[in-house]
Amino acid sequence: MKFSKAILTFLILSGLATVNAAEKIYIADKKELVNIDFKDLEIDDFIKIVSNILNKNILIKNKIPGKVEFLSTTPVYKDNILSILISSLEEKGYTLIDNGAFMEIVRSSEASQYNLPILLKDNKDYNQMVTDIFYITEENVDIIASKIRHLLSRAAKLVTVKENNTILITDYPDNINTIKDVVRVIEKNANKTIQFIELKNVKAQNILNELNQIAREKFNQRIDNEKITIVQNKDNNAIIIVATEQNAKAMRDIIEQMDKKSEEASMITKIIQLKNSSVKDIFNVVNNIVSKKQYTDPKDRPNISSDETTNSLVVIATKEDHEEIGTILKALDEEKQQVYVRARIIEISENESSKIGVRYGLEGGQVASTGLYTFAANVGGSPMAISNTLASFIKPETVKSGVAFGAAIDFLANQGAANIVSEPSILCIDNKDSTIYVGQTQSIITSSTNADSTTDLSRNTYKREDIGLTLKIKPRISNDNKVTLEVEAKLEDVLDGSGAQSGTPTTTKREVKTLAIVKNGENVIVGGLIKNKTSENEAKIPLLGDIPILGEAFKSKNAVEDKINLVISLTPFIIEKSADLSSLRDKLSELDAIQQEHSKRVEEKLKEKANEKKE
């Protein structure tokens, strides 16, 4: 206590500090606590106080402006007085260094030039700035420097030496101790291992991309410690991992699971027989899909070939590719919907049909498509009885219009105005072309060679030509129980009086293409294939016209011009499955019976109407 009072009295008397009632500095010996508390004390005066307390000479080259304030509620150790002074000086850009004989206050930015102590393992503790050497063994020195630079004090210095991978730092001891701890942690985490994993069942290049993707998802690649490098060694089919021991073990476990022997890694041969589709068509589709798929190793690409004899595909592929190809084949080889098309090819005489219209008092006796429908509507008839089975297959209104149309054609045929050339039927696969041909093959002279002598013969070269009607139909089943019919009709004929008997006829060709959307069981007419016909009519007086030679005087002949319209009636019926064919036959038989009955009643009704007209 006497020593503390003496110091306080000395400060007051020497005028170095103004200490009010709240300001007091009590100093015991070096190991004792010191109770200090001051306010608005000039820094220069505080330096003098510390010099006296520590009994150390302090060299001050420049006056240091500013004041310092220290509020204390508990005593501090005598040794800490120096740390308080250094902290106060650092705020002003200065620091305190110990030259042995005395202490010197210098600028902090120049402190490293004053032969600062170098810390070694057996060094004592320092309060002033020191220099320490960091030996880096597990990481690049520049990477470590970039990570610790922000921990340095404002006046600290950091230098890297790449030749021996070391860092020199000049800073306060407390900062250096903190930096040591940080460097120790960074080096520990940067200690990565290199592992070689030889694969037995899978190819390294096949799983390399997948492993890198797993590593990116599982570990944060932005953190150096977490970052994993994975490469392949093609020479021995191995995976090389550069990572920490923990992360490398995690990836090794994943690789071992992927390398387990299974069907996934081997090529499997399968023969797949198609049931509903042509192997030629399916082969092109599947092969095109496989050819566009990317494979790391071309050897892993599936090998696909076709056998048209058994309508089968031979596929050599991995289990994964077999599953994908199987899914495609299942969708492509489904049982196709079919369309049963009934056709009626009819030749209608314009002259005769017009006579019928006049004879029975009917309008719409024309032979155009709309005329036939009008004629069918006008012939009338009694109500039709339709079974529930037929009504569920074809809408009743469609049945009635189809039956009425058929009755009109039958009536025209019975009256000699129509000639039903053919009534073919064809079963078409959905969206596939089908063809009907009705006609004959005729020989036509293409060249002729005259005889050169009496012993030589004339020679003719003939060519066989199809003369008749070719009907190409392509149905496409759409929604709402409708069928889109793509129809192409081609009529080839021999022109009358053009030398057909001599083998040099003139042929004509007429062609119609159309696209129509009709309901299931609904009629569609393809018309417009018209040809001119000239016939000779003979009129004579009975008995007298039959007298030889003289009878010619009682006869008259005249040429009659007529137009023959070739009309094609098509009626499509949708078949969902092949098993529905027998059911369709029963329904068509019922439909034919209804039409025959209706035709009979229509004809009776029209005859009654004609008789009433005569009366």
Average pLDDT over residues 329-343: 87
pLDDT of residue 475: 92
Domain boundary residue among 233, 259, 285? 259
Verify that 277 and 235 share a domain, yes or no: no
pLDDT in tens, 461-470: 767 777 788 8
Higher-scoring residue by pLDDT: 93, 447: 93
**Of 4, 98, 85, 28, nearest to 57 (Cα)?**
98
pLDDT of residue 159: 92
Distance of alpha carbon 9 from the chain centroid: 93
Domain boundary residue among 299, 314, 334? 334
295-298 LR contacts (CB < 8 Å, sep 24+)? 296/205, 296/206, 296/208, 296/209, 297/203, 297/205, 297/206
**Of 50, 45, 46, nearest to 78 (Cα)?**
50
Q: What does residue 293 show for φ and ψ, rounded to 5 degrees?
A: -80, 140
Share of the chain above pLDDT 90, in %: 5
Whether 128 is covered by a domain: the verdict is no
Confidence band (pLDDT; 50, 70, 90) for 458?
Answer: low
* pLDDT at residue 252 is higher than 70: yes
**Of 44, 154, 150, 43, nearest to 93 (Cα)?**
154
Distance of alpha carbon 604 from the chain centroid: 66
Verify that 35 and 107 share a domain, yes or no: yes
d(CA 390, CA 585): 11
Residue 1 CB-half CA count within 13 A: 0
Whether 567 is covered by a domain: the verdict is no
Verify that 252 and 278 share a domain, yes or no: no
pLDDT in tens, 479-532: 778 899 998 888 887 766 555 455 556 677 778 888 888 888 888 888 777 777
Verify that 253 and 275 share a domain, yes or no: no
Verify that 41 and 106 share a domain, yes or no: yes
Evaluate whether 340 touches 572 at the Cβ level (below 8 Å): yes
Whether 277 is covered by a domain: the verdict is yes
Confidence band (pLDDT; 50, 70, 90) for 370?
Answer: very low
d(CA 95, CA 47): 12
Verify that 233 and 302 share a domain, yes or no: no
Verify that 44 and 111 share a domain, yes or no: yes
d(CA 231, CA 240): 5
Tokens linked to 386: 């339709």
Q: What does residue 463 show for φ and ψ, rounded to 5 degrees?
A: -130, 135
Unique residue bearing structure tokens 């190819």: 203
Evaluate whether 417 touches 334 at the Cβ level (below 8 Å): no
Average pLDDT over residues 409-429: 81
pLDDT of residue 471: 87
Whether 16 is covered by a domain: the verdict is no
pLDDT of residue 581: 77
Tokens linked to 104: 């010197």
How many domains does the structure of the chain reveal? Answer: 3
CATH code, domain carrying 301: 3.30.1370.120
pLDDT of residue 419: 83
- pTM higher than 0.85, yes or no? no
pLDDT of residue 349: 80
**Of 70, 78, 46, nearest to 60 (Cα)?**
46
Verify that 38 and 107 share a domain, yes or no: yes
Whether 204 is covered by a domain: the verdict is yes
d(CA 451, CA 449): 7
Phi-psi region of 22 (alpha: psi -120 to 50; beta: other; left: phi over 0): alpha
* pLDDT at residue 239 is higher than 50: yes
Tokens linked to 181: 């701890």
* pLDDT at residue 211 is higher than 50: yes
pLDDT of residue 538: 67
pLDDT of residue 158: 92
Unique residue bearing structure tokens 């002279």: 445
DSSP string of 169-216?
EEE-HHHHHHHHHHHHHHHHHT--EEEEEE-SSS-HHHHHHHHHHHHH
**Distance linking the first and last C-alpha atoms of the chain:** 161
The least confident of 20-29, 232-241, 498-507, 568-577 is 20-29
pLDDT of residue 75: 82
Distance of alpha carbon 118 from the chain centroid: 67
* pLDDT at residue 368 is higher than 50: no
Identity at 168, one-letter amino acid code: L
Tokens linked to 328: 């495609």
Verify that 292 and 320 share a domain, yes or no: yes
Tokens linked to 565: 């319209």
Verify that 250 and 274 share a domain, yes or no: no
Whole-angstrom CA distances from 240 to 155, 237, 248, 419 are 46, 10, 10, 87
CATH code, domain carrying 68: 3.55.50.30
Average pLDDT over residues 129-142: 85
Share of the chain above pLDDT 70, in %: 75
Whether 576 is covered by a domain: the verdict is no
pLDDT of residue 3: 40
Q: What does residue 525 show for φ and ψ, rounded to 5 degrees?
A: -110, 135
d(CA 225, CA 599): 94
Evaluate whether 336 touches 276 at the Cβ level (below 8 Å): yes
Verify that 218 and 291 share a domain, yes or no: no
Whole-angstrom CA distances from 342 to 51, 221, 608 are 125, 71, 32
Whether 536 is covered by a domain: the verdict is no
Evaluate whether 114 touches 161 at the Cβ level (below 8 Å): no
Q: Which of 89-98, 325-334, 560-569 has the highest mean pLDDT?
A: 325-334
- In the beta sheet, which residues pair with residue 340? 427, 573
Determine whether 209 is exposed, middle or buried from the number of CB atoms within 10 Å of its CB (0-12, 13-18, 19+): exposed
Average pLDDT over residues 184-188: 76
Verify that 77 and 35 share a domain, yes or no: yes
**For residue 228, what are the domain limits?**
192-259
d(CA 123, CA 545): 157
Determine whether 78 is exposed, middle or buried from the number of CB atoms within 10 Å of its CB (0-12, 13-18, 19+): middle
Confidence band (pLDDT; 50, 70, 90) for 10?
Answer: very low
* pLDDT at residue 133 is higher than 80: yes
d(CA 474, CA 417): 31
Whether 344 is covered by a domain: the verdict is no
* pLDDT at residue 365 is higher than 80: no
Confidence band (pLDDT; 50, 70, 90) for 389?
Answer: low
Domain boundary residue among 212, 228, 259? 259
pLDDT of residue 20: 36
Average per-residue pLDDT in the chain? 76
